[in-house]
Structure 1
Amino acid sequence: MMKKNIIKVAFVLLVLSTMCSCKKYLDVVPDNVPTIESAFTMRTQAQKFLFTCYSYMPKEGDLTDDPGILAGDEIWDQPLKGAYFQIARGFQKVSSPYGDRWTNLYRALRDCNIFLENVGKVPDLDEEERRRWISEVKFLKAYYHFYLVRMYGPVPIIKNNLSIDADPDMMRVKRDPVDSCFSYITSQIDEAVESLPLTVVNPTTEAGRITQPIALALKAKVLVTAASPLFNGNAEQARLKNADGTALFNPVYSKVKWDSAAVACKKAIDLCHSVGMKLYTFNPDFQQYNITPTTKTQMSIRNSFAEKWNSEIIWANTQTLPAVTTLQTLAATWWDPTMLDISSIRGELSPPLKIAEMFYSRNGVPITEDKTWNYNNRYSLRTAQENEKLSIRKDYETAQLNFDREPRFYADLGFDGGIWYGQGKYDDSQELFYLQAKFKQRNGAGKANFSTVTGYYIKKYVHYQNVIVGTTCSTNPFPWPIIRLSDLYLLYAEAQNESEATPSEETFKYINLVRERAGLNSVQSSWTNFSTNPEKFSSTSGMREIIHKERLIELAFESQRLWDLRRWKEAAKELNTSITSWDMGQEAAVGYYRPVSLFNQTFASKDYFWPISEANITANRNLVQNLGW
């Protein structure tokens, strides 16, 4: 296949100089490598090609590279913020689609295949290491195919590269049925697992390299996705066929897919446990400070995401360190009233009111069904008391919506009157930072270079040890978590619930572990004692709704909501509503705490999948376009 090796390999150029300890690990093949043979003449060159295969990984946490942040309804920003925000506003197009990954990920698959075809030629490569590298690249092939399927649905499977003298007709590939895509993805992971290490040997130089827990966790997510309504028995996609009549979706629902997903999730969980992974809990190293259980719970939630390489991080992307640093400054607000002249702190990534309302009450049930929570008066005013001072500034008047909420509400969100723990103040028996977010207040709208649009802020993104020094804000970087153990627990609970006739103790066990870390009682206790629908958890459909809500809350702002709403086929319901905010132009509480519509989102059935670029359709007439585009 590779007789004519004068063809140069095209490589993606990445700016890696800011990757700290990961710089060496992420070096890619230089531009002046003239031939394929040169790239595989020795171990050092082959390793650079290996890292080229890694370099195509989408950068989760990067506003310019991650659709999960701005392409849905979880975060709102100023108009024309970027390509993915255009998708959220309903402006997707078939000519140069926003966020198009087709060409780049197929280039990645080509380079992965080149590596697999040639790594056997490297003379000074230890066989055990060779097997590990091969497994890593097979995993990457699976991941890149999976990313394509989530975006586009059925895609052409690229098992091997074509010979350079292949018939041109062979190069005009067709889309493979979506079940075949998922089967190929899981087969690649299965082939990879055995030769992957349980953990990385040297975290300093190998952080982010693929391990067995990562592989099994991704397989679990792949199979849960394959079993979900968007891909499992989706009759609305029955008309999507290749030109030769090959159906690309099976419209018949299969429970077996959920059975397989449940098995895969449990296997991944057991392996993660065997290497010491567990849900993170906050144990500060500054024992000189007073930390109450309330603060510890909030910090266990907040740091499970933002504390790098903590005990529940299964997989994180080390390439995202610079992007996450930028994200922190865009999410941060001026928490310190003595430091109000720092241009990098903007507070512009704003959760809409619908997201603030999504979190549970303090009783662990939705505020719409908590019989002790006054939902109809959620926009009325209330003043914080002494016993609420760790969440809301004592004697501060704010909306009823911000009171009596679960710990994740206070851990993830900043708001007018809300306490902002950390950032240099760690003794919660003393006065802590709090926000003032009405018009022209220090955290409000109406000032130059400050563009919050809803009145809520994403505290979850901001590492609690970031501090303002002089005219700058120090930032503690962390790699963006792709899969956390809590994510895997909830995937397992979801798969178990769909696999069984009625919810079982195994289903409750894993969702309740997540809730326990979040400071909540069990599903059974919370719904029985506080819900207007106390039997909800007893049925598969009721438990499905509970698990979905739990995922949306636990994984809020982590690039999960967009994909979950799509695979559940719930995006059409959630993304056809109004994006609302507080009335940001008001100085008085009575005027500020009124919902204002910012934008009316629209989402059609065609929006469940990205369009394939018209240029790709024109170049390859065997490709059929997604329905509606």
Structure 2
Amino acid sequence: MKNYINKISTILLIAAILGGCKKYEQFPVDKVTGNYVFDPLDSAGVNAQSFLYGVYAIVKNGHNRVGNDYLDAASDDAVSSRTGGNIPVTLITTNAVTSFSFPGAENFWEGTSLSQAPTSSGVPDAFWAGVRNANIFINNIGVVPVKGGLSNGTTTAQLWRSEARFLRAYFYFELVRRYGGVPLLGNKVYDISDKLDLPRSNFADCINYIVSECDAIKDSLLMAPVADADNYRATRGAAMALKAKTLLLAASPLFNGDNIDKANPLTGYTDYDVNRWTLAAQAAKDVMDLNAYSLNPVFTHIFLDQNNRERIFIRPGNNSTNIETNNGPVGFQAGGSGNTSPTQELVNAFPMQNGLPVTDPASGYLASDPYSVLSAVKRDPRFTATIFYNGANWLNSTVQTYEGGQSKPNTSLQQTVSGFYMRKFMGDFESAGTYSNHSSDWIVMRYAEILLEYAEARNEVEAAPQADVYDQLYALRARAGIDAGAGGNYGLAPNMTQAEMRAAIQNEWRIEFAFEEHRYFDIRRWKIAETVMNQPRTGVSVVKNGNFYTYNPITILNTVFKKNQYLYPIPYNEVAKNPNMKQNPGW
């Protein structure tokens, strides 16, 4: 793994030649040409493989990537603790953006800026740069006589080509879920002399293309699990998982029957087809049937143990304490800037350990002890693995987010604005004296996602949810540590209606994948953003009175969501210079 990370940061010169990123002069730049990269005499394929590393590097590491915030701070799950008038997630969530001022940290169309991660790597930001560089690789790798291959007869060159095709399909997926239909370039690499007034392709054509690419390459990729230095590479399971993810997006209400512009094929399908849910369910089931993946027994260690079998596709990161120092609670000697303030809405979404929602009188929830610090009935263990709250254990001490407490001193120091801090992705430092380096890999796809994709899609095609839907939620809740209960239902009501199960599945997505860049897109694809984002974001003001606390609700941000925000605007410059580039509605 460390070997790959070093290669990403030091062997990007080849991708830079044609992708626009910084040149690293490991050998004279004037000697670096396409012939040098794709050398017919290079049987080891060293330079070509370096170019492929550069394409992988365009996959985003989501940790604090949006102007030093998590993307979920632009959803109803969190807000940025940072102040000022140019916070990208705040601009997005308050609808203070336009087609010519969309924050560069989340504008992956134009690619005029470098990485917005805390330490810029010099990798091009645009997914279009990824598509272009993948095409360069796809078109040229055939001349490199690299040795070796897979047991099924796939040569190494064919394997690498399929990896580049996977990455290209992934970049298209990221573009489509933001913009709807985008131009499909095929294998063509455009240069400055080409006519570039390309139109957008229909949403349906884009979905079909991504799916067909995944089908075409899956048998010429590595088989999972892949460990150690190669665990970042695209596998058969990753291609199949991307197909399932794409088909679920296509089946979701925003694109399937509730298109924001009903007759516009660029913004979604112009009809509803229940078979789209069936296709999504089958694609997820195909991944399950590989028997290559499983849920990691310990929820927190999905993000810490690099070779666990829940991971399907990752963007590797360095071993560091960056997550803690950026997001940990303030007031500890080990450091913490508290960038991310989870909302009360997210906190309320976590049930009790018996699986019952906090609103259920039978749950055991106590308003006087909302985080179950003293109560015998605890919260869903994913709550304590995701959220720092007043009284949470940390660094051989407790987090104090009461007014005037160590982690909410109410000084000019940046601190939580909601009464909560983000805990997810951090190391096991509850009983430690300080932080120590750990993996900061970003998990792009993991097996829990497949289970929820299957459950969601199956629920939409069944008149009422059957065992195949319940079983996926049982598996996730059992792994989380929720009690099975006398009926073995893990707190879920038996005999739910389709609508009741839909709500349960949507909540499971929320609590299982908090801060993993799901909620932000989920509320869009479910087309509920105009409801949940037009309510104030809230937090809590905790007041200490002797040994007792009172918990007072507070409004921390008034968010705004308009219908046009379901899709991103095509950047103004693209529309202005290309008469065939149609803008998304409302922008």
Q: Which residue is 2:381 aligned to? A: 407
Deviations 1:324-366 (CA, angstroms, capped at 9, x unpaired): 74222222226xxxx8444x31234111111111111333132
Counterparts in 2 of 1:524 and 1:62: CA distance versus 1, 3 Å: farther
Q: Percent identity over the alignment?
A: 28
Structure 2: how far apart are the matches of 1:585 and 1:505? 46
Residue 208 of structure 1 and its aligned partner are, at CA, apart by 0.6
What pairs with 1:4-23 in structure 2 (closer than 5 Å)?
Answer: 22-23=5-6
Please give the TM-score of this superposition, normalised by the length of structure 1.
0.79
The correspondence for 1:28, drawn from 3, 6, 12, is: 12
Pairing 1:238-317 to 2, within 5 Å after superposition: 238-240=262-264, 248-271=267-290, 273=291, 275=292, 277-281=293-297, 300-317=298-315
What is the rounded CA distance, in whole Å, between the counterparts of 1:608 and 1:37 in structure 2? Answer: 44
How many Å apart are 1:584 and its aligned residue?
Answer: 6.1
Q: CA RMSD in A?
A: 3.0
Structure 2 match to 1:372: 362
Query: Does structure 1 residue 174 correspond to structure 2 residue 199?
Result: yes
Aligned AA for 2:561?
Answer: F
Deviations 1:7-53 (A, max 9, x none): xxxxxxxxxxx966531366323442543222201311111111122
Amino acid at match of 2:382: R
The one-character-per-residue Cα deviations of 1:394-434 (angstroms, maximum 9, x if unpaired) are 5xxxxx9x9742222223222112334xx5xxxxxxxx632
Question: Are residues 1:102 and 2:93 paired?
Answer: no
Q: Which of 162, 168, 171 is residue 135 of structure 1 equivalent to? A: 162
Other-structure match for 2:51? 49
Aligned to 1:397: none
Q: Which of 456, 473, 479 lines up with 2:435 in the alignment?
A: 473
**Deviations along 1:483-520, whole A, 9 cap, x unmatched?**
22112111111111112232121111111111111222
Q: Deviations over 1:62-83 (max 9, x none)?
A: 3337863322221222333732
- Paired residue secondary structure (1:617): helix
CA gap of 1:253–1:325, structure 2 versus 1, over 3 A, is: farther
Q: Does 1:68 align with 2:71?
A: yes
1:567-582 equivalences in 2 (<5 Å): 567-582=525-540
Residue 605 of structure 1 is aligned with which of 547, 563, 567?
563
Quick one: distance in 1 between partners of 2:466 and 2:551?
A: 43
SS in 2 for 1:316: strand
Amino acid at match of 2:310: E
Stretch deviating more after TM superposition (159-168 or 97-106): 159-168
Partner of 1:208: 232
Counterpart residue number, 2:417: 453
**Which of 241, 262, 265 matches 1:217?**
241
1:250-285 alpha-carbon deviations (Å, 9 max, x no partner): 2211111111111110111121x2x3x32122xxxx
* 2:573 aligned counterpart, secondary structure: helix
For the structure 1 residues 416 and 163, does the alpha-carbon distance in structure 2 shift closer, same or farther, using more than 3 Å as the test? closer
CA distance in 2, matches of 1:464, 1:165: 52
Structure 2 unaligned segments of length 5 or more: list them. 15-22, 24-28, 111-125, 150-154
Q: How far, CA to CA, are the matches of 1:38 and 1:24 in structure 2? A: 18
Higher helix proportion, which one?
1
**CA–CA separation in structure 2 for the residues paired with 1:523 and 1:483:** 30
Distance (whole Å) between structure 2 residues aligned to residue 120 and residue 311 of structure 1 = 33
Question: How do residues 353-432 of structure 1 correspond to structure 2 at under 5 angstroms?
Answer: 353-368=344-359, 370-373=360-363, 378=367, 381-382=368-369, 392=373, 404-420=378-394, 423=395
Quote the offset at 1:545 in angstroms: 1.1
Measure how far apart 1:601 and its partner are.
Answer: 0.8
Cross-structure match for 2:463: 501
Asked if the contact 1:135–1:192 (Cα under 8 Å) also holds between the matched residues in 2, the reply is yes
144, 154, 174: which one aligns with 2:181: 154
Q: CA–CA distance in 2 between the matches of 1:174 and 1:619?
A: 12
On the 8 A contact 1:152/1:610 being kept in 2, the answer is: yes
| CA displacement, residues 546-578 of structure 1 (integer Å, 9 cap, x when unaligned) | 111111111112221111111111111111111
Supply the distance in 2 between the matched residues of 1:301 and 1:270 (Cα, whole angstroms). 22
Which residue matches 2:318? 321
Report the Cα distance in structure 2 between the residues aligned to 1:231 and 1:357, rounded to whole angstroms. 29
The answer on whether the counterparts of 1:445 and 1:585 sit within 8 Å (CA) in structure 2 is: no
CA distance, structure 2, for counterparts of residue 120 and residue 572 of structure 1: 49
Match of residue 213 from structure 2: 188
Which stretch shifts more, 611-620 or 232-241? 232-241
SS in 2 for 1:194: helix
1: CA distance, partners of 2:89 / 2:370: 39
**1:124 CA displacement:** 4.1
After TM superposition, give the deviation of residue 88 of structure 1 in Å.
Answer: 2.0
SS at match of 2:78: coil
For residue 524 of structure 1, report the CA deviation from its aligned partner: 10
Correspondence for 1:86: 91
**Cα distance, 1:163–1:624 mapped onto 2, change above 3 Å:** closer
8 Å CA contact 2:132, 2:189 repeated in 1? no
The AA in structure 2 aligned to 1:105 is F
Residues 309 and 436 of structure 1: is their aligned pair in 2 closer, same or farther, counting only changes over 3 Å?
Answer: same
Paired residue type of 1:485: Y
Decide which of 464, 479, 483 is 1:517's aligned counterpart.
479
Q: Deviation per CA, 1:80-108, whole angstroms, max 9, x where unpaired?
A: 37323321232122113112101311122
Name the CA distance, whole Å, in 2 between partners of 1:188 and 1:619. Answer: 30
Alpha-carbon distance in 1 for matches of 2:408, 2:470: 41
Deviations 1:457-507 (A, max 9, x none): 2222321048866xx633323312122211211111111111223212111
Give the C-alpha shift of residue 182 in structure 1.
Answer: 0.5
Residues of 2 paired with 1:372 and 1:73: CA distance? Answer: 27
CA contact (8 A) 2:344 2:418 kept: yes
Given the superposition, is the C-alpha separation of residues 454 and 569 from structure 1 closer, same or farther in structure 2, using an over 3 Å criterion? Answer: same
User: Secondary structure of the residue that 1:24 maps to in structure 2?
Assistant: helix
Identify if the C-alpha distance between structure 1 residues 605 and 437 changes in structure 2 by more than 3 Å, giving closer, same or farther: same
State the secondary structure of the residue aligned to 1:489. helix
Q: Offset at 1:315? A: 1.8
Provide the C-alpha distance between the structure 2 equivalents of 1:356 and 1:459, rounded to a whole number of angstroms.
Answer: 12
Q: Structure 1: 5+ residue runs without aligned partners? A: 1-17, 242-246, 282-299, 385-390, 395-399, 424-431
Instruction: Say whether the 8 Å CA contact 1:453–1:584 is kept in structure 2.
Output: no
SS of 1:23 mapped into structure 2: helix
CA contact (8 A) 2:325 2:336 kept: yes
Decide whether the 8 Å contact of 2:485 with 2:491 is kept in 1: no
Query: What is the TM-score normalised by the length of structure 2?
Result: 0.85
Q: Structure 2 residue aligned with 1:439, among 378, 397, 403?
A: 403
What letter corresponds to residue 190 of structure 1 in structure 2? D
- In structure 1, what is the Cα distance between the partners aligned to 2:381 and 2:556? 28
Tell me: CA distance 1:512–1:166, structure 2 relative to 1, closer, same or farther (3 Å).
same
Based on CA coordinates, which of the two structures has the bigger radius of gyration?
1
The separation in 1 between residues aligned to 2:583 and 2:192, in whole angstroms, is 28
User: Alpha-carbon deviation of 1:150?
Assistant: 0.9
| Match in the other structure for 1:237 | 261
How big is the shift at 1:194? 0.8
